[in-house]
């Protein structure tokens, strides 16, 4: 089973020296990755911050950076953040169960992903 996935950011993270870091690795998330950030004060004050903490936990490498932390994720361009959020969903939900239903109009069997069960609200 593959647990780490390489990626290349569309824009790249620009560090304090002006170096652009584009290539990285993201690992599969664990239950702790999803649960522990909920205790963080920043997430309790702003639920949108969950993504920042979650990505800082699962991105294991980005260019030549020594460490990936929330400041690095906060410094990403919006396009790169969206790219990483999509990658996270794809690699962690790729085996999401589906429900098979019959279309009432064409009588064809259709697979409906149950990923909506995971989204809040």
Q: State the residue range of the domain holding 78.
A: 4-96
In a domain, 119, yes or no: no
In a domain, 117, yes or no: no
What mean pLDDT, rounded, does the chain reach?
89
* Structural domains of the chain, count: 1
CA distances to 87, 109, 113 from 6, rounded to whole Å, are: 10, 35, 25
> Hey, CA dihedral for 71, 63, 83, 13, is it positive or negative?
positive
Question: If you count them, how many residues does the chain have?
Answer: 121
Higher pLDDT among residues 119 and 21, named by residue: 21
Query: What confidence tier does 119 reach under pLDDT thresholds 50, 70, 90?
Result: very low
Q: What is the pLDDT of residues 9-58, one digit of tens each?
A: 999 999 999 999 999 999 999 999 999 999 999 999 999 999 999 999 99
In a domain, 27, yes or no: yes
> Hey, CA dihedral for 65, 67, 71, 72, is it positive or negative?
positive
């Amino acid at each position: 089973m593959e647990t780490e996935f390489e990626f290349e950011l569309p824009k790249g993270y620009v560090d304090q020296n002006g170096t652009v870091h584009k290539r990285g690795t993201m690992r599969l998330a664990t239950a702790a990755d999803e649960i522990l950030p909920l205790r963080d004060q920043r997430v309790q004050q702003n639920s949108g911050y969950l993504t920042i903490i979650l990505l800082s936990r699962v991105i294991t490498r980005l260019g030549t950076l020594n460490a990936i932390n929330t400041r690095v994720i906060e410094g990403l361009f919006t396009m790169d953040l969206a790219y990483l959020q999509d990658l996270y969903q794809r690699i962690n939900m790729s085996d999401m169960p589906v429900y098979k239903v019959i279309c009432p109009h064409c009588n064809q069997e259709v697979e409906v992903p149950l990923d909506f069960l995971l989204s809040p609200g």
